[in-house]
Amino acid sequence: MIRKKLEMTKLKEPDFFVYTSNVDTAFQRAGVDPALIYEIHGDVMKWQCRIPCCQKVWSLPDDYRFQVDKDTRRTQRFRNAEGQKGEEEGKDLIYRHGKVLEIEEPSNRKMDFRGLTPYTQNQSLNRLVRFGDEASNRKCFDEELRCQVCDGLARPNVLMFDDDRWIETDESNYKTWVKRAVANMKLGKKVVILEGGCGKRVPTVRLNSNKLVASGADLIRINLDFPLNPKYPSKTVSLQTSVLNALVGIDEAIRRLCYRTRSQP
C-alpha cells in the first residue's frame, strides 16, 4: 500500500517523514527514500564495530545470508569454545542481566554487553565469550563478521536496552523536517501524525508523537490495545483495530472524499 501511494503521488518535495522504532527496513523495501526515514533504534542491515573503535556504520551486501541451523536456531558458523556442537546446545539458554527497566518511560541509558553471559543449566556448553570482552578463543568467531577498521568483531547496528556501545542513527534529516513542519503549522497548515502499532512497553514513538501534538499536530493513533491518548484526547483520533484495517479504511475514505470533491460543480 505504501509503495502504491508513493507511485501515485510522486511529490517533488515530499511532505512526510517516517519516524519508526522498527529495525527491519520495511519502509525502505516499500520504496520510501532512506533520506525520509529515521530508524531510531537502527536497522538489522547495518553493522558496526562491537567495541566500537570508530563511528563507522556499514551495510551488508544485499545477497548476504546467514546460514542458520533450523534445529538449534544458531548460525552454523557458531560453535562453542572447543569448536564442538553439543547435544544440549541451544536448550534452556538463560541470559543473566542487570537492572529491569520500568516500562513507563524509555531508558536514557545504553546497555553494556559485558553483563550478558549465556550459560546452560547443565553446563554442557563451555562459558561463551562475553560480548563486551575480547575473544579469548578465536575459534568461537573465526568466520564471523568483522569491523572494517580494527578487524574486531562486528555487531548489528541495533539499539538494545542499556546499550552504551551502539552508534546512534543520524537524526539530522528528521530534525530538519520537524522544524519545517512546525513552521508550517504556525502558518496555519495542517500536520497529521499517523501512528500505528506503537505500544507502551517501549513508548518512545508515542512520546515523540505527543511532542508534535503539543506543537500543533493532530494524531491518528492505531492500536489494538492502547488506542487512547489521555494527554491530548481532543487532538487524537483513536482507532482500535489493526494497522492494515485502518490503512485500508483511511484509503477508502480519502477516495470517497476526492470523488465527491471532483463531482461538485
Catalytic residues: 41
Q: Which long-range contacts (CB under 8 A, 24 or more apart) does 83-89 make?
A: 83/139, 86/124, 86/125, 87/124, 88/120, 88/122, 88/124, 88/125, 89/120, 89/124, 89/125
∠ CA 97-99-101, rounded to 5°: 115
The set of cell numbers assigned to 87 is 547435544
- Is-contact 14 36, C-beta < 8 A? yes
Q: Which long-range contacts (CB under 8 A, 24 or more apart) does 64-69 make?
A: none
Helices (H), 69-198: 172-186
The set of cell numbers assigned to 158 is 541495533
Please report, in range form, the residues annotated as the binding site for Zn(2+): 49, 54, 147, 150
The DSSP secondary-structure symbol of 234 reads G
C-alpha span between 99 and 170 (Å, rounded):
28
SS3 content of the chain, % helix, strand, coil (to 5): 25, 20, 50
Question: Taking the CA of residue 90 as centre, how many other CA atoms within 13 Å lie in the half-sphere pointing to its CB?
Answer: 15
The set of cell numbers assigned to 216 is 500543533
C-alpha span between 52 and 164 (Å, rounded):
10
